[in-house]
Amino acid sequence: MKILALTIMVFVILSPSFAAPTTVADNALGAACDAKQLQPCLAAITGGGQPSGDCCAKLKEQQSCLCGFAKNPAFAQYISSPNSRKVLTACGVPYPSC
């Protein structure tokens, strides 16, 4: 019983050190996938306007991350929206096929 309690205590103490990172090095250039980098695109995606040059540059940087963002419930609605497709097309970024 003491060994079980000790094992549980060690697990509880060490488990926070194995937490998942908030960004993931997932794209081909080695840059971290960070949805915050797509902030310049928010107005175009939510409002339907033309994307800025900064938006297009960030989309191209984060292109390999789009499937990961699409699978995240916090971002899926933005990636799958009709305006998102328009922004991707205007920036010359293919829509992700996950």
Asked if pLDDT for residue 19 goes beyond 90, the answer is no
3-state SS record for the chain: CHHHHHHHHHHHHHHHHHCCCCCEECCCCCCEECHHHHHHHHHHHHHCCCCCHHHHHHHHHCHHHHHHHHHCCCCHHHHCCHHHHHHHHHHCCCCCCC
The pLDDT tens digits of the residues spanning 58-68 come to 999 999 999 99
Confidence of residue 11 (pLDDT cuts 50, 70, 90): very low
The pLDDT tens digits of the residues spanning 45-59 come to 999 999 999 999 999
Rounded to the nearest integer, the mean pLDDT of the chain is: 76
pLDDT of residue 30: 52
Q: What's the pTM?
A: 0.66
